[in-house]
Amino acid sequence: MNNTMRWSRIVLFCFALIPAALYGRHIIGGSMTYRCLGNGDYEFTLKVYRDCFCTECAQIDPVATIGIYRCGPTAPCNLGQGSAIATLNIPLTERRNIDRPDYPCLIPPAVCTEEGIYLFRLSNYRLNLPLSLENSYHITYQRCCRNVTISNIINPGEHGATYTAEITPEAQRLCNSSPEFATLPPTVICANTNLEYDHSAKDREGDQLVYEFCAPFAGGGNDTRFQPLSCDGASPTPGCPPPYSFIPFLPPSTATSPVSGDPPLTIHPQTGLITGKPNRIGQFVVGVCVSEYRNGVLLSRIFRDFQFNVAQCDPKLIADIKEDIKVQDKEYLVNSCGPTEVKFINESSPRSFIRTFDWEFDLSNRKITSSEWEPSILFPGIGTYNGRLILNKGTECGDTAKIFVNIYPALDADFEYEYDTCVAGPVKFTDKSVSGGKFLTSWNWDLGDKFTSRRQNPEHQYRSPGKIPVTLTVRDTNKCIEKVTKTINYFPVPALLVISPSASEGCAPLRVKFNNLSFPIDSTYKIDWDFGDGGSSRAVSPSYIYEDAGVFTVSLDITSPIGCKTDTVFPDLIKVRPSPSAGFMIDPPIASNLTPTINLFDESQGAIRWNWQLSNGRNFTERSPSFSPPDTGRIIVRQIVVNSVNCLDTLDKILDIRPEVRYFLPNAFTPNGDSVNDEFKGVGVMAGAKSFNFTIWNRWGEMVYQTDQPNQGWNGRKFNTGVESPPGVYVVLVTYRDPRGNPYELKGFVTLVR
């Protein structure tokens, strides 16, 4: 290691602190590598990693300000940024998210890591690095700050990061390119899980690479104790010259042992493979240095630091079986009551991750094993046995379930039943179950009609017939459960026929709904009704209309599907009283507003009281009333008649009272001014007339008068204002429509006499 590298171990203090508001906590790692293109031209790759779940943190810089310094034994680097031989503003080349690692049997928590890449070539900025035989070039970027939640460094929120590449004189002379890391860093590590992560790098020239954990460089942080005296701020512009101080680790963590574990994390010096089993949940800064040697001479040394997120991961692989009782997590109890051969149902998941499945059961003097997915295991006899299901045995991706098996004496569920198959009555159930244990502890009957019972020997009355499945479930002192189902062909006839008519008395015609309350019956039974007036029905609960008056006896016969019969007679059940018959005549049958009187003549039969209701609101109680039409239009005339037993009948008729107009024309008039017959006009009733038109024409076909008003007339002058018309005969034409729109036309002659 040359002197310039050793200078980075010096810790300096800054003159002042920078306000915290200027800092964006987001940096979780980065690296700087280079490639020699010849003639002093180099291509550099700066990679910066950011926690993109951080909601109040700065974004990756859209432009990275890079400082280039030449330092060494003959040209010590100054402490200020002004000593840079060049300052480059490099735009962000690419931004992408890093995929979360895939653990075969674990589900890591959600994390989000963003990678920003700055790729730049010196010749694109009209710059090259002349060969320096004694001094190194340092290309540097610095940025604040790291996550405040980091667990293994002191005051994590006060420190930033320095990502730098040193091109040594030997590397310049040989136009050497630095190694480049082959893989992305892991975004999350599962705690208490063996870690094998390839952190190796590739070298273009095939030089020897040596790997080690090392302390990350500080830079661009709030705590200026760890920054050069004249180089402070959240984002030094440009990055400061060496020497660079190290991030201070919080004991017991160190730069070479950054993450605790059992075993702790280590890195293989030749392969770069990081192994270990982290056992502490948190966020940890890890630095990896790669030294490049050719023929034993150090050419370059690159490093990458990164935030390792060690988290509790949920198991993805779960050993599980179908059990009778889940004792606790990963412990299952299976009971077998009677059979000593038990089939185990494997419900482990996900199946795609399961490579092997080993069943092991410990007997008194031997062990039973199976590698079937769902084995059937034959146990020696009654007793308790322990076993386990092991998935992916001997691998990191595995899981185990403990199994407890109880082989109990047999439990046989059984019952008997008896009932009168022809006449409905209760069904008596008798438990016949037998337990090899001490005794039965419970009975649960499903009686097949939504009723249940917990008695040992219940009785039950069914209200509906049919093939009824009855299930008995029994339990004994060993908590064994067995069930048995039997079907009862239950088709007796009702023990008692019960009906409920909607009416037992009324006026003819009488509608009666016969509600059949007898049970058990349904549509499969043969049912015969006799209503006593010759009518019958086969419906379970029919409706029937009695047209005639009288007293009627009703009978009901029922036959079950298996041939059992029953019948009942209900004497004088229905009484139907006679009803009067409404009837009347309207005179005149066609009336108008000019009709003076309308007569209603009763023609009913058997009535002693009458009630007349007109839809216009008028009412009469006389037997044959008369009335004057109040208005034109159609009205409903309703007659309600009542007989001596208070039965009634109703009849409606429509009476149309037409609006009528009448118009008459005289045949002569004398317009001589004597106030007698001086004007010619029609007379009549014209109320409601529409589209009236009255015209008079002389013998030459000339119109001499016209009006649309029925009460206006002609005075003998042309249009009532011109010269007097000569005596003679004139033609009259009148057209109009009545109130209902019917057209009328009158033609005639009038003689004008002077």
CA dist 187 → 26, 49, 100, 271, 539 (Å)? 14, 10, 6, 21, 79
Q: Would residue 199 be called left, alpha or beta, if left means φ above 0 and alpha means ψ between -120 and 50 degrees?
A: alpha
Residue range 251-295, pLDDT digits in tens: 999 999 999 999 999 999 999 999 999 999 988 999 999 999 999
Q: Give yes or no for residue 134 having a pLDDT over 50.
A: yes
Those residues with Cβ within 8 angstroms of residue 312's Cβ, 6 or more apart along the chain or in another chain: 109, 190, 191, 281
Q: What single-letter DSSP state applies at residue 221?
A: -
H or E element: which one contains 684?
strand 683-685
Q: Are residues 122 and 44 in the same domain?
A: yes
Q: Would residue 270 be called left, alpha or beta, if left means φ above 0 and alpha means ψ between -120 and 50 degrees?
A: alpha
Contact 730, 750 (CB under 8 A): yes
Q: Are residues 178 and 279 in the same domain?
A: yes
H or E element: which one contains 3?
helix 3-7
Q: Which two tokens stand for residue 159?
A: 């420190």
The region of weakest confidence among 102-111, 148-157, 321-330, 445-454 is: 102-111
Percent of the chain at pLDDT > 90 equals 67
Q: Are residues 645 and 719 in the same domain?
A: no
Q: Which of 490, 521, 550 finishes a domain?
A: 490
Residue 63 lies in a domain: yes
- What SS3 state is found at 49? strand
Reported as a pLDDT band with limits 50, 70 and 90, residue 371 is very high
Q: Are residues 347 and 475 in the same domain?
A: no
Q: Are residues 288 and 430 in the same domain?
A: no
Residue 323 lies in a domain: yes
Q: Which of 377, 408, 439 finishes a domain?
A: 408
Q: Which two tokens stand for residue 310?
A: 């060690």
CA dist 735 → 44, 442, 697, 730, 739 (Å)? 111, 102, 15, 17, 14
Q: Are residues 296 and 396 in the same domain?
A: no
Q: What torsion do the CA atoms of 475, 481, 482, 485 make, to the nearest 10 degrees?
A: 80
- CA distance linking residue 423 with residue 462, whole number of Å: 12
Q: Give yes or no for residue 3 having a pLDDT over 70.
A: no
Find the mean pLDDT for residues 105-126: 85
| Bond before 350 cis per omega within 30 degrees | yes
| Bond before 238 cis per omega within 30 degrees | yes
Q: Which of 290, 311, 332 finishes a domain?
A: 311
Contact 748, 682 (CB under 8 A): no
CA dist 294 → 210, 272, 297, 351, 608 (Å)? 11, 18, 5, 50, 137
Q: What's the per-residue H, E or C state across 64-110?
A: EEEEEEEEECCECCCCCHHHCCEEEEEECCEEEEECCCCCCCEECCC
> What's the CATH code of the domain at 703?
2.60.40
Residue range 206-232, pLDDT digits in tens: 999 999 999 999 887 654 444 444 465
pLDDT of 221? 66
- CA distance linking residue 252 with residue 372, whole number of Å: 49
- CA distance linking residue 710 with residue 728, whole number of Å: 24
Q: Are residues 486 and 520 in the same domain?
A: no
Residue 376: strand pairing partners: 343
Residue 579 lies in a domain: no
Residue 250: strand pairing partners: none
- Looking at per-residue confidence, does 195 or 130 come out higher? 130
- CA distance linking residue 322 with residue 381, whole number of Å: 22
> What's the CATH code of the domain at 431?
2.60.40.10
Phi and psi torsions of 170, nearest 5°: -65, -40
Which residue from 331, 389, 323, 327 is spatially nearest to 361, judged by alpha carbons? 389
Q: How many CA atoms lie within 13 A of 378 on its CB side?
A: 0
Strand order in the sheet with 357-362: 325-328, 331-337, 399-408, 383-391, 357-362, 367-370
Contact 581, 509 (CB under 8 A): no
- CA distance linking residue 536 with residue 528, whole number of Å: 7
Reported as a pLDDT band with limits 50, 70 and 90, residue 423 is very high
Find the mean pLDDT for residues 532-546: 97
Contact 384, 405 (CB under 8 A): yes
Q: Give yes or no for residue 522 having a pLDDT over 90.
A: yes
| Residue that is written with structure tokens 């920054």 in the block | 227
Residue 705 lies in a domain: yes
Q: Which two tokens stand for residue 292?
A: 């490049």
Contact 318, 352 (CB under 8 A): no
| Residue that is written with structure tokens 């928590």 in the block | 109
Which residue from 468, 413, 417, 462 is spatially nearest to 442, judged by alpha carbons? 413
Q: How many CA atoms lie within 13 A of 146 on its CB side?
A: 33
Q: Are residues 153 and 262 in the same domain?
A: yes
Q: Are residues 268 and 373 in the same domain?
A: no
pLDDT of 1? 34
Largest CA distance in the chain: 157
Q: Are residues 670 and 715 in the same domain?
A: yes
Reported as a pLDDT band with limits 50, 70 and 90, residue 80 is low
pLDDT of 502? 96
Q: DSSP string of 106-168? A: EEPPP--EEEEEEEEEGGGGT------SS-EEEEEEEE--B-TTBSSBSSGGG--EEEEEEE-
Q: Give yes or no for residue 8 having a pLDDT over 60.
A: no
Find the mean pLDDT for residues 556-570: 96
Q: Please classify residue 589 by burial: count the beta carbons closer than 10 Å to its beta carbon, then call 0-12 exposed, 13-18 middle and 19+ buried.
A: exposed
Residue 654: strand pairing partners: 636
Residue 441 lies in a domain: yes
Find the mean pLDDT for residues 106-118: 80
Contact 314, 327 (CB under 8 A): no
Find the mean pLDDT for residues 474-486: 94
Q: Please classify residue 412 by burial: count the beta carbons closer than 10 Å to its beta carbon, then call 0-12 exposed, 13-18 middle and 19+ buried.
A: middle
Reported as a pLDDT band with limits 50, 70 and 90, residue 612 is very high
The region of weakest confidence among 312-316, 554-558, 721-725 is: 312-316
Residue 578 lies in a domain: no
- CA distance linking residue 86 with residue 115, whole number of Å: 26
Structural domain range at position 745: 662-752
| 505-507 vs 565-577, strand pairing mode | parallel
Find the mean pLDDT for residues 683-696: 90
- What SS3 state is found at 170? helix
- CA distance linking residue 512 with residue 574, whole number of Å: 9
Q: Are residues 623 and 737 in the same domain?
A: no
Residue 723 lies in a domain: yes
Q: Are residues 97 and 168 in the same domain?
A: yes
The domain total for the chain is 6
